[in-house]
Every structure is written in C-alpha cells, then in structure tokens.
A and B are shown apart, each in its own frame.
Chain A
Amino acid sequence: MDTPIIELTDVVKSFGPVSVLKGVSLKIYAGKITALVGDNGAGKSTLIKGLAGVQPYDEGEVRFDGELVALHNPREASRLGIEVVYQDLALCDNLDIVQNMFLGREEMEHGTFDEGRMEREASETLRSLSVRTVKSVRQKVSSLSGGQRQTVAIARSVLKSATVVILDEPTAALGVAQTEQVLALVQRLAERGVAVLMISHNLVDVFQVADYINVLYLGQMVASIETAKTTSDDVVGYITGSKTYSETSA
C-alpha cells in the first residue's frame, strides 16, 4: 500500500465543553474513493470542515503526501488542492455554468474577464468527466436539474488541479437515474487519480462505489475497512454502535 495522500492522526476538536472529535484517524488514497459514514452528530461535518480549513482541528496531525501540514484556513487547504463540494452545492442560481465554475478565480486579461478561455476550460473539464447531460456551458444554473447541479459543483472542484475532493452527501435528494450519473462521475474522478472522500448516509451508494469505508461513531473512528471485506449489515451495526469492529473479525 502506497502513502496515503491525506493521513489524519488522532485529531481532536471541541466546541467549548462539547468534544466532537475525540482522536480520529483517517487515511485517504489517491485514485480511491473513501467513504465516511456515521449517524447524525457523529462528527462527519466537523471532520471535513477541519480538512477544508474552515474550522481547524484543536489537536492531532495532518499529513499531506507524508508531509506534516497545517490547515488553518481555507486558502491553505485549496493550495494543497483540497476541494469540498458541500451538500447545499454553493452555486449561484443567477449565474451560468462557466461563471459558477470560475467564481472567485476568474481568468483575467488586462483587468477584464477572458470569457473565451474560461468557456473553453469549463467545457473541457465537463467533457473530461464525460458529462453529456449539459447542453450548453452558458446555461443558467437555475435551469439545471439537481443531478446537473451536482455535476457542475463537482466539475467546479476539479477545474484547478484538485488532488483531494470531499463530497458531502453528493446523492442526497437525487432521483434514481441522477444518482447513477453522479456516482459514475465520482468514479471517473477517482480514475483520474483524484482522492475522493465521500460522506453519505446511503449505504447502497457507498457499497456501489467506495473502496474503503470509515465509520464515525460519537466522535470516534470505530471502523476503517475495505469495502470488499465487509457487509452492509456490519456497517449499520458500527454506525448505530450495536456492533464493535475489530481487525480480526474483518
């Protein structure tokens, strides 16, 4: 097994007296899909906010490609190529696909937008992800379906050489066909060598695409398993706390 692109060791995070992460360790590998599951309040969101640099961890080590790094703010995270696709997508309905994908990092020439270049790069990124559902990159996001929006949000994250993409509930609120499309897109991300961390409540999705499954239970990582070596029943048990994972039982 090669070095993980991200390795968290014993990270701790508390909000006042409430300790949300009580020494969590996690490994994410390039080209692999790592699922993070857990019930509400298990600490999933806190864990990814730490990785995104939005809410830095209190204690613990973060290694990026083996090197010890600090993630104190979003800029440091994005410099390392860590991108987060939030559950509520964070797209502007009133802007078109190109404008959304380049929001905050527009290509400029002589102080004004280089629209042609942005249009081309957006189009190429979508095409490299084999996106066929979008007719025009100049469509307003308000006219897109839920699956297409998710597609745009994911494409936005890989527009600028992302190494790690964190997806927060990418298939929540999507129909069956759209879920399939988005999962296929997630797999293509991994095939391109991106390390994908997928947070999901939907175990069917997790078992369909994930290479590894990590289970958070009340702020502790109770299981880190290869998908092939476990079952849905076991994972439900870990999530609810009714089963305990040990290396030997796997």
Chain B
Amino acid sequence: MSATITSQTPESGTDLIGSGQDGGVRDQVTAYIQRVRSGDMGSLPAVAGFIVLCVLFTTLSPFFLTERNFANLLTQAATLVMLAMALVFVILLGEIDLSAGVTSGVALSIFVVLSNPGGIAMNWILALLISLATGLAIGLFIGFFVAKVGIPSFVVTLGLFLGFQGLQLIIIGDGGLYRIQQPQILAIQNSNLPTWGGWVMLGVILAIALTTALLDRRRRARAGVPSRAIVLLWIRLAAIALIGGVVIALLNQNRGTGFLAVSGVPIVVPITLVILWMGTFVLDRTKFGRYIYAVGGNAEAARRAGIKVIGIKWAAFAVCSTLAVVSGIFSASKVGSVDAAFGRDIVLSGVAAAVVGGVSLFGGRGRLINAAIGALVIAVITNGLGLLNLPGGVNFLVTGGVLILAATVDAVSRVRAGGSIMRR
C-alpha cells in the first residue's frame, strides 16, 4: 500500500472505475453479449456444436438418446476429457506435449508389469503411485529440455513420442498384452455410484458453488467494490441444478440389457469433476495459475514482473504429464488391458479437443472446462457416427472438419473484432 496513493483518494467506492461486476442483470447481459461480439467467445461455439450434434444424431439414430448410450458416451469421453485438460496446462504456455499419450502408455505399462499377479505382483496401490510418479518424472524431464535447455517443446515431445513407443515395447514385451486385474481400477469406468450417490454429488457441487460465490462476494464487499447482482448467482445455481438433475436422473434409469439392473452415475464422472474443479481453482485463484497465463501471454513481461518463467514452464509440463497418466488410468479401466500400443493414437485428439473447446494454441487463452467441452464434442462425433454404422474413415474426416471449423470460427471472430489472429 502506498501512502502517496491512499492519501489522495477519498474513501468512497462510488466513483471507482467500472469493474464489469457493477450494474443490474440487464447491464451484465449486455456486457456479456459485447464480449462475445468482440471475439471472446470461450466455449460458446463448442457448446453450440455439442447441442447441434446431439440433436442431429438423435434424429438420425434411435439409439443415440438412450440411457445406455448416454452413459456409454460419458465413459468413452472420460479419457479424452482428462487428456485434453492435462494438455491445457502446456497449451496455455504456447507449448505442446505430443508425448502425453505415450507418457500414459509408459506409465501404465510400468503399472501392469509391476502389479501383474503372475509376475512381480506388487501391491497395486504402490504400483499406481509409481506409475503416477513416472508421469511426474517424464514431465520434469520434458520441462528440463524445454524450459532450461530451450529446445522447442514440439521437437522434444516429438522425440519422446517416438522414443517412448520403443520403451513401451521393451517394458511390455513384443506383442504382449496385460489384462487389468484390479477390480478397483476396472470399477472407475465400469461401476456406478448408487442412485442416491448421484444426488449427493449434485448437492456437493451446488454447495461448493454457493459457498465460493458467497465468500467471493463477502471479500469484494469488504474491499468496497461492487459484486454482480445476486440474482445471477441464483440463475447460475438453478442452471447447474437443472442440467445436473437431468443428467443424473437419466443415468439413474436402469440401462442394463440382461437380468442385472445397471444404473447410477459412472464413478469416473465424480473423479473427473474433482480434478476439473481443483485444476480450475489453481488456474483461476493461485499465483501458479495466473503466472501460467502471464507466461503464455507475454513471457518477457512475466519475466520482468519477477516471475520465474523457467520454473512455471517446468511445473506446467510436470502437471500435464501427471494428469496424462490419470487419463491413461481411465483408458486402461475402460479397455481392460494395456498393450504395447497403449496411448499412441490419442494425443492429437486431445489437442484437437482443447482447440475445439476454445483453448488457443498460441497460449494464454482457455480454461479447463473449455477443453472438457471440446472433448465431449469429439466424443459425440465418434459415438454418433459409430451408431450410424458409417465406415470408420468418416469419423476421422468429420472430426478433422470440426476442428478446422472451430479454429475458423475463432479466427474469424477475432479478425472481425479487429485483433489479429497471431497476437492472441
């Protein structure tokens, strides 16, 4: 606090420069429309695309909008959602990690070899921790070459992408395949919360959203700056309750085909939501997160502001690789096995998911939720086209088309707003 500043400013909050939080609901809505028009669309195009695709596939296939397919879609998407969220941490820096998929492959290969009951038979929790630590170590390894040595991340991770395929082959053995033997790992994607569990989950989400919003408002009030009209908070909570309620109600229907009833929210959903919430908290409210955005926006400015740019990059790669291993765990749980090609093909879909969701490859712009929504869009395409019995090639064509379309919408909106594409 500077004495020279405070001495000159009268103690009234009324003539503070606008903060974007002031005004009634109408002002807020106008301001939002203004932001969208000026090219700051966030995940709006992805959400719109998601809805359009869902409507399209519902009309084209009688199987799309069924409880069974809906749950299927979520578990299919989980791996990609997690990987896209992992990649956000490095994409925000304007970097890339092409080895995220094979990193999860190496880590999971180590897990299955260590935990395999017929082999080393290590305690599976210990093996899982070693697997996650492997991801962390790989991230630190990449971060060393990118941040410290100064090699472009594209080159470093491309090298690892090639090298780790070989490493995986050596760990697993030629043509080998290990089945996942731990019911706890398999449960992540194949078991569900009890029906009441889903409602408890929704209640917890609403409670957290309400508490953080109220704490924020109290903090702002204490500082003497305006908060948004409280009715906007109620609208937001109502929207979460409505969408969450519909999703949980759908998932709580019996979707079993045989005699066994299958219902409830897949366990992978709350796990993903917790990681999404924690990651968003870190990115929005802590120095580490803010500095990731700053380094991605203008690394030189960040350096001059006293930010340790090298450390931030290093840490971001470590987070990315560790979360990539989590995505690998989801995948292993879904597939039920790990082979020498595990995780090889998914990484570019992860990058595509982030871009479709509105995360800028130039760095500095995008949020975890954007990547998650982008991943859902890509998962819906795969799922829907699969139901239509179209040849496999169509899936890739459509996904690629959507990616280019998303990037075009982003670029055009920015050019119209007067900014150049490269600057942001």
Residues in A lying within 8 Å of B, measured CB to CB: 74-75, 78, 86, 88-95, 99, 103-106, 108-109, 111-117, 119-121, 123-128, 131, 134-140, 142-143, 158-162, 192-194
In the bound assembly, the distance between CA atoms of A160 and B42 in angstroms comes to: 33
B18 cross-chain contacts in A, Cβ below 8 A: 135-138
B: number of interface residues (CB 8 Å): 48
- Are A124 and B20 neighbours in the complex by a CB distance under 8 Å? no
A93-B298, A192-B4 given as contacts; is B225 within 8 A of A138 (CB)?
no
Interface residues of B in 1-50 (CB under 8 A from A): 1-6, 8-9, 13, 15-21, 38, 40
Q: Which residues of B contact A124 (CB under 8 A)?
A: 5-6, 9, 16
Which 5 residue pairs of A and B lie closest in terms of their CB atoms, listed nearest first? A116-B223, A104-B305, A92-B297, A94-B364, A161-B2
CA distance A106 to B19 in the complex (A): 17
Q: Is the CB of B17 within 8 A of A142?
A: no
Is B78 an interface position by the 8 A CB rule? no
Apart from the given pairs A158-B2, A162-B2, 18 other A-B contacts in the complex at a CB distance below 8 Å: A90-B300, A90-B301, A92-B293, A94-B296, A94-B297, A94-B364, A103-B290, A104-B306, A104-B307, A109-B219, A119-B223, A124-B5, A124-B9, A127-B9, A131-B17, A158-B4, A161-B2, A192-B8
Cβ–Cβ < 8 Å partners of B216 in chain A: 115-116
CB <8 Å contact, B20 and A138: yes
Task: Decide: A125 and B423 in contact? CB cutoff 8 A.
Answer: no
Complex interface: chain A residues within 8 A of B293 (CB): 92, 94-95
User: Is B334's CB within 8 Å of the partner chain A?
Assistant: no
Whether A138 pairs with B19 at a CB distance below 8 angstroms is: yes
Q: How far is the CB of B2 from chain A (nearest CB, A)?
A: 4
Asked if B286 is an interface residue, CB under 8 A from chain A, the answer is yes
Complex CA distance for A95 and B294, rounded to whole angstroms: 7
- Number of inter-chain CB pairs below 8 Å: 144
B residues in contact (CB < 8 Å) with A? 1-6, 8-9, 13, 15-21, 38, 40, 216, 219-225, 281, 285-287, 290, 293-294, 296-298, 300-302, 304-307, 364-365, 419, 423-424
Check B16 against A123 for contact (C-beta < 8 Å). Answer: yes
| Given contacts A116-B225, A120-B224, A193 and B4 within 8 Å (CB-CB) | yes
Q: State how many angstroms separate the Cβ of B40 from the closest Cβ of chain A.
A: 7
Name B366's closest neighbour in chain A (CB-CB): A94
Cross-interface CB contact of B38 among A88, A106, A117, A143, cutoff 8 Å: A143
State whether B17 touches A135 (Cβ < 8 A): yes
Q: In the complex, which residues of chain A have a beta carbon less than 8 angstroms from the beta carbon of B222?
A: 116
In the bound complex, CA of A111 to CA of B288 (Å): 11
Q: What is the distance, in angstroms, from A122's C-beta to the closest C-beta of chain B? A: 8
Q: Are A105 and B8 in contact (CB under 8 A)?
A: no
Cα distance A140–B424 in the bound complex, in angstroms: 11
A227 to B334, alpha carbons, bound, how many Å?
A: 77
B134 to chain A, nearest CB (A): 29
**Cα A78 to Cα B304 with chains together (Å):** 11
The distance from the CB of B287 to the nearest CB of chain A, in whole angstroms, is: 6
Chain A contacts for B296, CB-based, 8 A: 94
CB <8 Å contact, B305 and A138: no
**Contact assessment for A94 and B365 in the assembled complex, using a CB-CB cutoff below 8 Å:** yes
CB-CB under 8 A from B423, the residues of chain A are 93, 142
Q: Name the residue of chain A whose CB is nearest to the CB of B414.
A: A142
**Given that A128-B8, A142-B419 are known contacts, is A134 also in contact with B17, CB under 8 Å in the complex?**
yes
